[in-house]
Amino acid sequence: MKWVEVYDIAIELDEKYPDIDPITVSFPDLYEWVMALDGFDDDPNHCGEKVLEAIQMAWIEERQ
pTM of the full structure: 0.94
> Is residue 23 included in any domain, yes or no?
yes
- The per-residue pLDDT for 10 is 98
Nearest to 37 by CA among 12, 54, 58, 62: 12
> Is residue 56 included in any domain, yes or no?
yes
- The per-residue pLDDT for 7 is 97
How many structural domains comprise the chain?
1
- The per-residue pLDDT for 18 is 96
18-61: pLDDT as tens digits: 999 999 999 999 999 999 999 999 999 999 999 999 999 999 99
> Is residue 1 included in any domain, yes or no?
no
First to last CA, the chain: 23
Domain that holds residue 14: 6-63
Instruction: Check which CATH number belongs to the domain holding 45 and give it.
Output: 1.10.10.600
